[in-house]
Amino acid sequence: MRPPNMRAEPRRSLATTWNGNVVAALGAVEIISYGTLYYCVSVVAEDIARDLEITREWIFGCFSLALFAGALMSLIAGRLMDRYGAGRTMELALVAAAVSLGMAAVSWNAVVFAIALFGMQIAATFLFYEAALVFLVQRDAGHAKRQMTLLTLIVGFSSTLFWPLTSLLLTLVYWRGVFGIYAGVNVFIALPLMCAISRRSAGPGDQNDVRELQVSSNASPKTFDLVLMTIGFSLTAFVLSALLGNMIAILLSIGLGLEGALFSAIFGPSQVLIRLLAAFTGKISAIRLTLLSCILLCSATMIVALISHSILGVTAFLILLGFSSGLNSICRGTLPLWMFGQVGYGSRVGLISVFRLSTASFAPLLFSVIQNRYGVSVALASLSVCGAGSILAFVLVSIRSKRHSSSLNE
């Protein structure tokens, strides 16, 4: 007699394989998006400045303003993704990214190049990590948490691939040629991949675990919960951006010379390691993972502030910072889903991103000002206070979620 699950197993295997292919293809799209719209700018800046007769500072000033403009677009992007679907908006954004890169390639003066930069970063708002998270949730909310974790592992290779690739291309073609090639990569590689996975996305009827997800979540979105979550993620973004934007300067100020750059390399592998662990320990709830990320971040800043002149202290700081950053990239997607469910997910992620990215954009400058005026110890202590504030915000979220769950069960 045939066992009753013989037909179910092949179907489950095919579904698992297709889900894996979707994450891999989406990861490739994300690597291309980050590499061509973000990481390449710093590599080609010197050549652009020389050719257009402007300074590197002018380029990076425009780049920062373009990033801020992209941050302000996050809420609109989230609402459009909720209304029309993240797959469709990402396809259009890839076309816009290619057009902007092409415009940068043919720019005949600094103003035209600045307009192209703004176009690139506005397109990036519809393509970067948050947009990919919305796509995964809309496609299959029940399996989105694990897929988000796997996606962070893939996207982490973007800088590793595109920094050396862009440097290599500059030895073969002019900077305009680099932008032209990257425009083609978006159109002829990323766009077909996005079209393939968005056209075959799972419909609502295929989401087997959505009911369980809605039961485990708090289901009823409350404004105060969203405010607390936004504050928590904005504070962690401020601390991470301040530390990462001033990493070498911090290590130099605490007595590390050229070896500081070598020590900073610990950060990257730490992110990958914690994401691997998170991928294989999916039973931890999103709120606990978020709290762990904040505790690690606060611990890292306190350690470097108190025992920064110890090699062991610097190593612990970089490892904990990498762990926190790696978890944070996962929690930004999983916690809103866990708290509020699938409906309106894009708008909520977009709203959080507006404040998170805006806060992060000013963090390196504010940290540098405090460090120059009051010293690195005071600057690091201020970051510890921000880290403690993020812990408090998410503790309140956890308490409120438990109370709401208890009231539903009564």
Higher-pLDDT residue of 137, 57: 137
Flag the least confident range among 127-131, 164-168, 215-219, 280-284.
Answer: 215-219
What's the average model confidence in pLDDT over 223-252?
A: 85
- Distance, CA of 282 to CA of 276 (rounded, Å): 11
Is the Cα dihedral 341, 345, 351, 355 positive or negative? Answer: positive
Tell me the C-alpha distance between 333 and 372, whole Å.
35
- What is the predicted pLDDT for the residue at 203? 45
Alpha-helix runs per DSSP H in 223-285 = 223-245, 247-253, 259-264, 267-280
DSSP secondary structure, 83-128, as one string: HH-HHHHHHHHHHHHHHHHHHHHH--SHHHHHHHHHHHHHHHHTTS
- Cα gap 363→385, rounded to integer Å: 14
- Mean model confidence pLDDT for the chain: 82
Q: Using N-to-C axis directions, what is the helix angle for 56-72 and 74-84, rounded to 10°?
A: 50
**pLDDT at residue 92 in the model:** 96
344 — phi, psi (to 5°)? 70, 15
pLDDT at residue 190 tops 90: yes
117 vs 142: which has the higher pLDDT: 117
Least confident of 132-141, 227-236, 380-389: 132-141
Under 8 Å CB-to-CB from 238, ≥6 apart: which residues?
A: 359, 360, 363, 383, 386
Both tokens of 352, joined, read 């959080």
**Of 132, 138, 134, 137, whose CA–CA distance to 152 is shortest?**
132
What's the helix, strand, coil split of the chain in %, to 5? 85, 0, 15
Q: What is the pLDDT of residue 98?
A: 96
Element (H, E) at 357: helix 345-374
pLDDT at 171 over 80: yes
Take residue 237 and report the two structure tokens written for it.
């973004």
Question: Rounded distance, CA 68 to CA 357, Å?
Answer: 7
Q: Contact, 141 vs 286, CB < 8 A?
A: no
pLDDT value, residue 187: 95
Tens of pLDDT, residue by residue over 321-333, are 889 988 998 898 8
Is 194 within 8 Å of 27 (Cβ atoms)?
no
Q: What is residue 213's predicted lDDT score, i.e. its pLDDT?
A: 47
Whether 217-409 and 8-206 are alike in CATH topology: the answer is: yes
Distance, CA of 155 to chain centre: 9
pLDDT digits (tens, 9 = 90+) for 269-287: 888 888 888 877 667 788 9
Q: How crowded is the C-beta side of 37, counted as CA atoms within 13 Å?
A: 32
pLDDT tens digits, one per residue of 386-399: 999 999 999 999 88
At residue 385, does pLDDT exceed 70? yes
Segment of 89-98, 242-251, 300-309 carrying the highest mean pLDDT: 89-98
- Of the pLDDT bands very low, low, confident and very high (cuts 50, 70, 90), residue 97 is very high
Q: Of 91 and 313, which is predicted with more confidence?
A: 91
Domain 8-206 CATH superfamily: MFS general substrate transporter like domains (1.20.1250.20)
Tell me if 389 sits within 8 A of 231, measured CB to CB. yes
**346/83 Cα distance (integer angstroms):** 9
Among positive and negative, which fits the CA dihedral 249, 250, 252, 253?
Answer: positive
CA distances from 62 to 53, 59, 144 (A): 15, 5, 35
Q: Of 273, 254, 271, 270, nearest to 311 (Cα)? A: 254
Residue located via tokens 């994300």: 30
Q: Which stretch of 64-78, 115-129, 385-399 has the lowest confidence by average pLDDT? A: 64-78
CATH 3.40.309.10 fits 217-409, yes or no: no
Choice between 357 and 3, residue whose per-residue pLDDT is larger: 357
Domain boundaries along the sequence of the chain: 8-206, 217-409
